[in-house]
Structure 1
Amino acid sequence: MIRAIAVVTTVVVVLLGVATGAADVAVQSSADGAAFVKPVHGAVISHGFGCTDVGVAPVDPACPGGHWHSGVDLAAAEGTPVYATAAGIAHVYVSAFGFGLHVVIDHGGGLQSLYGHLSLISVDEGAVVAAGQDIGEVGSTGNSTGPHLHFEFDRNGVAQDPLSLLALP
């Protein structure tokens, strides 16, 4: 019983972001007051959110350019560390297509963040991660044109512009 309480307490502390275990991470506040950690440092936005004419994004006839980009691309050197933007439960995916090696973190309340095209994943499936925790490295796996992090937020399954929640880069 005591062990179960300790595990639950640890999970609650990590999910609330009380103990991050990460020093020197850039924290931003969103419009609704929630704090988020930048997912990669020293990156440049190479592709924004929304309608685009770049052919690697999914086809969307409602977009003037014909394609929809569900996140932002942050160009950085291959191997640059990628950090969890907020605490949550990690889900790990491996694919030769789409986002390639990628991690989705479920933050609760219908909010998820996705980190795509990683060269390395450093968390396990189902792991409880803290805000600012290293979860992988920038890469170019899947459907990618060069080393970058595809970063997106989904709220209740609907893509949100990451720039509306977090000041990037």
Structure 2
Amino acid sequence: MNAHSPDNANDNANNNAALPEAAQRVAGLLAGLGHDKPVVMLPATGKTSAEAAAGLGCSVAEIAKSIIFRRVADDAPVLVIASGSNRVDEAKVAAVVGPLGKADARFVREKTGYAIGGVCPIGHAVAPVMLLDSDLFRYDSLWAAAGHPHAVFNLTPQELQRMTGAEVADVAQRQSA
């Protein structure tokens, strides 16, 4: 049976109905973009990269974590999608997008439409300024949050860039020797 058969479409609709509301919305957005991989629910939380990686059986580096900042100049959301093994260097991000402030839980929910721990790279309430960690392109496969702390989806770094239109940048802190 091919992936576009009516039976698979019904299976996907049934599987999506079992998802939390925000994850259903993400599944619909992904389908609209032609992405054929399902949203997966983790048995335990995926709020941290380590938790998600443990639930998926992949490396922490293959988790595409979403970090939201607030740009000081215009209160715009800034979404940095980084490898789960990297700590984001705020100075590097600020050098690209301008001075940054902290984004509290209310700001994140208001600007993205998602709760912290489930911020998806797509489908935001307010279009964010976006940067992709260049280190993500070292991996063949990534997992990103799908709108809920237990929901994730699989994609390639190239698909992630295509879906988001994000600029690729070196945003990782480097360990000093």
Instruction: Return the TM-score normalized by structure 1.
Output: 0.27
Instruction: Return the TM-score normalized by structure 2.
Output: 0.26
The structure where helix makes up a greater share of residues is 2
The structure where strand makes up a greater share of residues is 1
